[in-house]
Structure 1
Amino acid sequence: MKLLRTKVYPGRNVYAHFPVVRADVDLQDYVNIPTCDIKGFNEELLKILPGLTQHKCSIGEVGGFVIRLNRGTYLAHVMEHMTLEIQKLLGYDLKFGKARYLENESVYYIVFSYENPTAGEEAAILAFDIIHALLHKETIDLEKGLQQIKDKIAVNELGPSTAAIVEEAKKRNIPVTRIGGNSLIQLGYGKYAKKVEATITENTNCIAVDIAGDKELTNSILHIHGIPVPEGRAVENYEESKSIIQQIGFPVVVKPYNGNQGKGVSLNLKSMREVKKAFTIAKKYSSKVLVEKYILGKHYRIAVVGEEVVAVSERIAAHVIGDGINNIKDLIDRENLNPLRGEGHEKPLTKINIDDVMLLLLKKSGRSLEDIPQQGEIVYLRENDNLSTGGVAIDVTEAIHPDNVRLAINAARVIGLDVAGIDITTPDIGRSIGQEGGAVIEVNACPGIRMHHYPSQGEKRNVAKTIIDKLFPEGQPHSIPIVSVTGTNGKTTTTRMLAKIFKESGLLVGVTSTGGVFVQEEQIIHGDTTGPKSAQAVLMDKRVELAVLETARGGIVNKGLGYDLADIGVLTNIGDDHLGIDGINTLEEMADVKSLIVEAVKKEGYAVLNAEDSYIDRIMERVECNIVFFSKDLSNEILQKHIINKGKAVYLKEKTIFIFDGEKEIEVIETEKIPATFGGVLEHNIENSMAAIAAAHAYGIDVKIIYTALSQFYTDAINNPGRFNVFDMKNFKVIIDYGHNIDGYSKVLEGLKKIKAGRLIGVIGVPGDRTDINILKIGEISGKYFDYAYIKEDKNLRGRKVGEVAEFLKKGCGIGGLNEYSMEIQLCEIEALKKAMTKAEAGDMIIVFYEEYVPLVEAIETFKNKIDTVDSEVPDLKIARTSP
């Protein structure tokens, strides 16, 4: 048995509309061996993972999985359940999983849900390791394996503040995109998106953050505005602190100048000996050290969001309570077993760590870790009260005095923060600080909100919700509209038509396509960009007002979608292409894959579907939003039924495209007035135009704008590069097209048959990952239509031998009726075109089904310039033409 690969799908995917992990395993010799025939396997597995006894499996009852084990099930199914059980042991209770055959008789894929991607992927690896150990009678340390996963999770998991904000965003259906491996996230899409990192938002002033990080500067600004702060200042060495202490007197506080989370802070120091030790500790965290007057009182954190006090917590330093039996170290160890305490920020409370600051405090109070406190005696282990050093928080939001509310808001305002944590020390937050005394100890630009969401006592306060509400007030948009386009053929042209229509309407449009990523007219990424990363590039661009995303099969299968839900999903057609790749072996399976685009549409959105497609019934079953059908055949049964039910539709009638808007028929444009149809003869571009019209109408674009845009849409290098681009070469023409499958070849050649004047010359090729039968069929189609064919191959052979595809094409051409003297193999695409142009006769039309667009255009321009140069030098000389 072999683990081949694991893959994380962070968004909607072909397996589920939520994140999943896929693990591919080769069962090898165990492919046909059930668990009941593997001696001791079931018993040992349940010893290691006893929680499996509670799994229901397909029987639907607790214990169902054990019944399947004992009857005999296969190892891929076992591994599926193990991944879920391991994740449960890590704290994630999940239910979705399945195992299915993939390829090569013994290879299966296992798909299961996850909450944390690291936990999910590592659970698959650990599950495989356990199975491997059991099969080979080896021992495995489950606890060690779980701990290793926990360590990896701690590195990659979102912090509690960021996680709380993400949770609230999802409640509002605001899309969330994690950027990088830390805590930077984007909420929403395009021009309305906001980036957030912990509690620093896109609206946070960077100067304000710098000010808050400079404690001395912060105190100076607060003092100017009449806000009480401790006396003191920053120094670089211990000797300088002496003069400050002489001025302000004991007790004092010593802390790092730009520290955080209470690290290196020592409070209530009453001698220079204590100051010197505290100075050494603080220096570990900062080159400068702040020496301040110690303010007596309780410690409070006030959360301010957008000039509103949202939560107030009393913070109590880490401590243990004596029982008269155990020493302080034992009491710390026992408290750290509290299930609410974890490492770092993984749980509501943080474990208490023993360090120099704690030992100094114990020494100050005449104690050591070996002391045994009396029953009920409280022993404080920190003077600072940060949760990150083991402190606890009590909610006192309802108790805060109005004067203290105003003081906290003013402190955040004068520093310039939209989200702030104001630390105040005062005897009682319920009384005015002006009367009771006290001071603002610190202003935090990135305050943790864990204490407010999970107080040790008192009411939970949802600070994250307030942050989300301030970033995205109710009624205001958080995302741009998304139009996603897929299909076997026509998706690139449809995407570009839609982009032109939306631009004509005045929107700033972001586009992904096989020709690159564009924002309006600017190309920001080159190449074939039809996957989720390209989609994210558009959706992260703050300029974009609407996204049109060409979404190809490869990205859907291997990575899922790069967005959450679209407003409009377009599926142009399902054709015979890419079968046998990525586990997609039938057209039914291909339809299911591409249907994800119209499944992942908002309930109130629209799916644009081809009513004439052979798999339309299968696709419709998966759609839960509104539908706009398009069809060249007005009598199409599905179309007619939809119209009768007052559904939206686009159709062809008397060479004119019409819209039915649910109530009435609206004329849009005559097909011959769309340049891309070449006077109405290119039927595939009529279909593409109809798909684009349907999507634009569903969005609400006025018919006049649609007419204007399509009447200016040419199949040239500007509007639609690589899609039936025609180049005039004095007395013959060269056409470049991306036809690369049976349907693509058929529709282009059928159109050319209607408009050709002289010979039709083909420069033909097919990607090597197509099936032998597929390649033969394309050769047969070519043999049927072409007068002469130059057969070439792609540079990327995709697993084929050199010349293998060409021989299949040549054989197919012969089947189609082309004789041996009317075709030749020239494997290099550029050389094949050059030869075709050199031997072209007046009136010829050369069509190149290309792999690389730009080199072909350059070759055409070079050849054209050469002809022009010859003509200008010898104006009366006739260029000789040689028949192939």
Structure 2
Amino acid sequence: MTAAPFDLQLQRITYLRGPNIWTYRPVMEVWLDLGALEQSPSNALPGFTDRLLALLPALEEHHCGVGERGGFIQRLREGTWAGHILEHCVIELLNLAGMPTGFGQTRSTSQPGVYRMVFRARNEQVGRAALMQGHALLLAAINDQPFDVKAAVDVVREAIDDCYLGPSTACIVGAATDRRIPHIRLNDGNLVQLGYGAAQRRIWTAETDLTGAIAETIAGDKDLTKTLLKACGVPVPEGVVVASPEEAWEAAQDIGLPVVVKPTDANHGRGVTLDLSKREDIEAAFKVADAEGSEVIVETFIRGNEHRMLVVGGQLVAAARGDEAWITADGQHTVTQLIDSQINSDPRRGTTEDHPLNRLDPREDPVIMLDLQRQGFGLDDVPPVGKRLLVQRNGNVAIDCTDDVHPEVAHSVCLAAKAVGLDIAGIDLVCEDIRRPLQAQGGAIVEVNAGPGLLMHLKPAEGQPRPVGQAIVEHLFPSDQDSDGDRPGRIPIVGVAGSQGTATIARAVAWLVHLSGRPTALACQDGLFIGSRRIERAGKQYWDQSHRLLMNRDARAAVFENPASLILDDGLPYDRCHVGVVTDFEGWQNLARHDVREADHLHKVLRTQIDVVFSDGAGVLNANDARVAALAELCDGEVLFYGHEVDGQLPAALVDHLAQGGRAAVLRQGTVRLQQGASSVATLDVAGLLERHGMGGDTALTHALLAAVASAWGFGISPELIAAGIETFPLRAPA
């Protein structure tokens, strides 16, 4: 009787989108039931390790906990469990699919045979695809069944292609990340917000929210663009808009042969036919151009190579040169076969964004077909041996020449971008030598493009890649405008974690921050607010609601209430904060589904709020809870305690903190004192305030106000404004 195959059940899959108990970054958390595999580690499965390595030989590179190459293989041969192995299978599939991933962990739970496995996942759909393929691969290796690794990698790669940012957008986002500017993807495409709240900027590929609609419209009208450039003294080819093939021929004669025929509003070189002198060629080129755009223009033909110049914020940051594509006949093969063997065989050519040059498909490009026809050949013809045929005149702009650009050329292209009004522009010019001024060689600017592609500068076919993403981020967030203590793209954020009075604390802090002159967004269980206006009630999608507040351009600061369940289910709704508050370790009884079985288990959860505090920020901690006070050692910023007397004594942690010159908010007999070391900075009569509102003796509210006062002080609000602001704070939550 054949034994039943081993199984490995995926009990629960959770995508943690923000900082969480595992890491600062988004991860996929998977609960696994090993079943019978709990009794069968890798070294107890005959032939398993060799089968797995045959499927994924690059596992040899995984260091694992051993810390050196081959470390994971060592663990396999010594014996490790299926959850840990699945972690490495998923990571390797992501690596093979082109999304390198290094982070993963697997931990046991209180349930025998059940584990939690996590791995870095930049995108939920990609993470799920990799998990499912890794799960299938692992079971195939365990049960000695066939598995198609290539097909699995293709599935993951397809998910990446469907979900991931294009190369232009990705390089800008990457440059922003390098400067620690957060980003939020606003749609399934390439619309991305860089920064939070009022400090944000937006990009859509290489267009920004500084790119004007009028400028973009002008750039789309080639005839109007030329008029504006000519008025500025920028050399442009003479041209006439025409409405028919006959008019095209007449215009060509008036301008002077040879000419160029192209659409007025197409891009990427579509419909552009060059170096035309015969009437039949010009009339045929009109039809090609007319199919690509709304109008057709006939221009003087400028001799030389096509160049693409990238201008960002009035500065030339990159330049690339094009080259013609030719074939040489051998007397045996057709034109199509020669194009494939002599041009498309170049590994730099392809159909994906990984290739700096496009694969040529003459049947899909009427301009190529027209050029071949002008030379007297069709795709199925066999040209005589030695015959050279020009296949493509433009479209091969991928040779970096940034360092060769003459200063006068750089000035001309920057002036062209300014004349059109574009903050980021791709300037197309034609000249024979980019090292000489345009006027001296009869060169000219032929197009100005909004939203230019960046791939040719990021991955040139020849030459040095250029840091164009960094240039665009610098344009959006000038580093020389950063003041002391400010971070580009960021607004001050306060996060309040715990369970006791956290909504009141969050409301009070938001109130005080707002009074300090910063319109403040607030997310708490009482609702979502901008200033005093509630814009939404808190619902089941609380993380999404909170995160959306960071998209609001009115928000110059933000305050978030973060219950432990939010951190466990989704992660924090922001990446870093200026003030992190932790109140208590209560409420653990409601977190059994996360394997939280006692108060001490909340340490890993609530420390997340303190882990994300900036080094110049503040961690605000309840000194009356020793477990909370112990989080102080994890805070990169200042620690500011708050606490009250119990049996006439203040908490030891608070007393020691003050003795070392630290700051604390101290509650004694209804009065809050803001103290730094032995000095009292300010006094607030909280008990009297509550009495005046008919809430005297409300201990929970008193402690919440104590925490709020401490948090506002940690935020940097003056004690005088805190005292005045707390008097006007609406103590009752909105209905």
Cα 1:360–1:139 shift into 2, 3 Å:
farther
How far 1:503 moved relative to its partner?
2.2
Post-superposition offset of 1:518: 0.9
2:314 aligns to what? 307
Pair 1:30 & 2:37 matched: yes
What's the counterpart of residue 266 of structure 2? Answer: 259
Structure 2 residue 426 is the aligned partner of structure 1 residue 421: yes
Question: Structure 1: which amino acid aligns with 2:313?
Answer: G
- Say whether 1:9 aligns with 2:16: yes
The separation in 2 between residues aligned to 1:32 and 1:360, in whole angstroms, is 70
Question: Which 10-residue stretch deviates more, 44-53 or 376-385?
Answer: 376-385
Distance 1:303 1:321, change over 3 A: farther
Which structure 2 residues correspond to residues 34-45 of structure 1 after superposition, within 5 A?
Answer: 34-45=41-52
Specify the alignment match of 2:729 in structure 1. 713
Sort the Cα spacing of 1:136 and 1:685 in 2 relative to 1 into closer, same or farther, 3 A: same
Instruction: Quote the Cα distance in structure 2 between the aligned partners of 1:537 and 1:256.
Output: 42
Match among 623, 628, 646 for residue 611 of structure 1: 623
1:504 aligned residue: 515
| Greater displacement, 377-386 / 472-481 | 377-386
**Whole-angstrom distance in 2 between the partners of 1:100 and 1:498:** 37
- 1:594 corresponds to: 606
Does the 8 A contact of 2:585 with 2:599 survive in 1? Answer: yes
2:416 counterpart residue number:
411
Decide whether aligned partners of structure 1 residues 541 and 257 sit closer, same or farther in structure 2, where only a CA change above 3 A counts: same
Q: Which amino acid aligns with 2:728?
A: Q
Change (3 A) 1:116 1:353: farther
Report how far residue 208 of structure 1 moved: 0.4
Are residues 1:668 and 2:683 paired? yes
Aligned equivalents of 1:197, 1:653: Cα separation in 2: 55
Work out the CA distance in 1 between the residues paired with 2:157 and 2:622: 49
Q: CA contact under 8 A between 2:28 and 2:120: conserved in structure 1?
A: yes
Against the structure 1 CA distance between its residues 662 and 534, is the aligned structure 2 distance closer, same or farther, given a 3 Å change threshold? farther
Instruction: Select the residue among 484, 489, 495 that pairs with 2:495.
Output: 484
The 3-state SS of whatever aligns with 1:615 is helix
Instruction: Look up the match of 1:563.
Output: 574
1:324 and 1:227, CA in 2 relative to 1: closer, same or farther beyond 3 A? same
Other-structure match for 1:779 = none
Cα RMSD over matched residues?
Answer: 3.1
2:442 paired with 1:437: yes
* CA deviation vs aligned residue, 1:355-406 (integer Å, no higher than 9, x gap): 33444434444566678999999875422235xxxx42222x3333333222
1:385 aligns with 2:395: yes
Tell me the equivalent position of 2:172: 165
In the TM superposition, what whole-angstrom CA distance separates every residue of 1:714-751 from its partner, at most 9, and x where no partner exists? 432xxx23xxxxxxxxxxxxxxxxxxxxxxxxxxxxxx
Does structure 1 conserve the Cα–Cα contact (< 8 Å) formed by 2:182 and 2:194? yes
Distance, in Å, in 1 between the alignment partners of 2:361 and 2:135 is 35
* Contact 1:485–1:491 (8 Å) recurs in 2: yes
Cα separation, 2, equivalents of 1:314 and 1:497: 60
Q: After the TM superposition, which residues 858-877 of structure 1 pair with which residues of structure 2 at under 5 Å, given as runs? A: none
- Counterpart position of 2:673: 658
Post-superposition offset of 1:312: 2.4
The equivalent position to 1:575 in structure 2, one of 586, 598, 605, is 586
User: What secondary structure is seen at the aligned counterpart in 2 of 1:286?
Assistant: coil
Q: Secondary structure at the match of 1:316?
A: coil
Q: In 2 relative to 1, CA 258–686 (structure 1 residues): closer, same or farther, beyond 3 Å?
A: same
SS in 1 for 2:135: helix
The one of 447, 456, 460 equivalent to 1:455 is: 460
Amino acid at match of 1:608: V
Higher alpha-carbon deviation: 100-109 or 651-660:
100-109
| 1:204-223 alignment runs, 5 A limit | 204-223=211-230
Shift of 1:35: 3.1
**Conservation of the 8 A alpha-carbon contact between 1:515 and 1:529:** no
Aligned length: 714
Preserved contact between residue 185 and residue 192 of structure 2 (Cα < 8 Å): yes
Farther off after superposition, 673-682 or 546-555:
673-682
- Tell me the distance in 2 between the aligned counterparts of 1:698 and 1:404: 53
Corresponding residue number in structure 2 for 1:764: none
Superposition deviation, residue 530 in structure 1: 8.3
1:319 Cα deviation (Å)?
5.9
Contact 1:671/1:679, CA 8 A, preserved across alignment: no
Question: Which residue number in structure 2 is paired with residue 519 of structure 1?
Answer: 530
**Retained in 1: the 8 A contact 2:493–2:558?**
yes
Listed as ranges, the gaps of 5+ residues in structure 2 are 1-7, 483-487
Match of 1:738 in 2: none
Distance across 1 between alignment mates of 2:690 and 2:508: 12
Q: Taking structure 1 as reference, are residues 664 and 375 closer, same or farther at Cα in structure 2, changes over 3 Å only?
A: farther
Q: Determine whether 1:85 maps to 2:92.
A: yes
Q: 1:247 to 1:492 in 2, by over 3 A?
A: same
Bigger relative contact order, structure 1 or 2, given CA contacts below 8 A and separation 6+?
A: 2
2:654 equivalent to 1:648: no
Paired with 1:103 and 1:375, the residues of 2 have a C-alpha distance of 78
Q: Decide whether aligned partners of structure 1 residues 148 and 528 sit closer, same or farther in structure 2, where only a CA change above 3 A counts.
A: closer
The verdict on how the C-alpha distance between 1:213 and 1:50 changes in structure 2, with shifts beyond 3 A counting, is same
Which shifted more, 564-573 or 612-621?
Answer: 612-621
Is 2:545 the counterpart of 1:534? Answer: yes
DSSP-derived class of the 1:223 partner: helix
Aligned to 1:548, what secondary structure does the other structure show?
strand
How far 1:409 moved relative to its partner? 1.8
Question: Cα offset for 1:295?
Answer: 1.8
- 3-state SS in 2 of match to 1:580: helix
Q: How far off its partner does 1:512 sit?
A: 0.8
Paired position in structure 2 for 1:740: none
SS at match of 1:262: coil
Aligned residues of 1:674 and 1:711 also touching (Cα < 8 A): yes
Out of 715, 720, 727, the residue aligned to residue 699 of structure 1 is: 715
Matches within 5 A, 1:675-754: 675=690, 680-716=696-732, 720-721=733-734
- Note if 1:361 corresponds to 2:371: yes
Aligned equivalent of 1:394, options 368, 391, 400: 400
Deviation at 1:264? 3.5
Tell me if structure 2 keeps the 8 A contact 1:531–1:562.
no
> In the aligned structure 1, how far is the partner of 2:385 from the partner of 2:630?
72
SS in 2 for 1:595: helix
| Alpha-carbon distance in structure 1 between the residues aligned to 2:341 and 2:55 | 27
In structure 1, the residue matched to 2:352 is 344
In the TM superposition, what is the alpha-carbon distance from 1:143 to its structure 2 partner? 1.4
- Amino acid of the structure 1 residue aligned with 2:681: I
C-alpha distance in 2, partners of 1:373/1:643?
91
CA distance in 1, matches of 2:361, 2:660: 69
Q: Which moved more, 1:370-379 or 1:528-537?
A: 370-379
What is the distance in 1 between the residues matched to 2:157 and 2:678?
Answer: 59
What's the offset of the Cα at 1:558?
2.0
| Residue 644 to residue 341, structure 1, CA distance change in 2 (3 Å) | farther
SS at match of 2:147: coil
> Is contact 2:249–2:283 with CA below 8 Å preserved after alignment?
no
Q: Return 71-80 or 264-273, whichever deviates more.
A: 264-273
Deviation sequence 1:600-645 (CA, Å, 0-9, x none): 1111110100111142255334322211011103531111111111
Q: Distance in 1 between matches of 2:507 and 2:11?
A: 39
CA distance in 2, matches of 1:710, 1:616: 25
Following the alignment from structure 1 to structure 2, what is the Cα–Cα distance between the partners of residues 9 and 458? 41
- Provide Cα deviations, 1:254-298, integer angstroms capped at 9, x if missing partner: 334322222343322343444455445445543444443322112
How far apart are the structure 2 equivalents of 1:661 and 1:334?
77
List per-residue Cα deviations over 1:634-691 (Å, max 9, x = no partner). Answer: 5311111111111111111343111123462123212213338856512222221111
Residue identity opposite 2:399 in structure 1: A
CA contact (8 A) 2:459 2:465 kept: yes
Q: Deviations over 1:792-811 (max 9, x none)?
A: xxxxxxxxxxxxxxxxxxxx
The amino acid of 1:532's aligned partner reads W
1:317 shift after superposition: 4.3
Q: Structure 1 counterpart of 2:175, which letter?
A: E
Contact residue 491 and residue 557 of structure 2 kept, 8 A: yes
What SS does structure 2 have at the residue aligned with 1:666?
strand
Counterpart code for 1:504: L
3-state SS in 2 of match to 1:581: helix
Q: Is the 8 A contact 1:532 1:563 kept in 2?
A: no
Name 2:3's counterpart in structure 1: none
Percent identical pairs in the alignment equals 32
After TM superposition, give the deviation of residue 408 of structure 1 in Å: 1.3
Q: Indicate conservation of the 8 Å contact 2:629/2:653, yes or no.
A: no
Give structure 1 stretches of 5+ with no counterpart. Answer: 722-853, 855-884
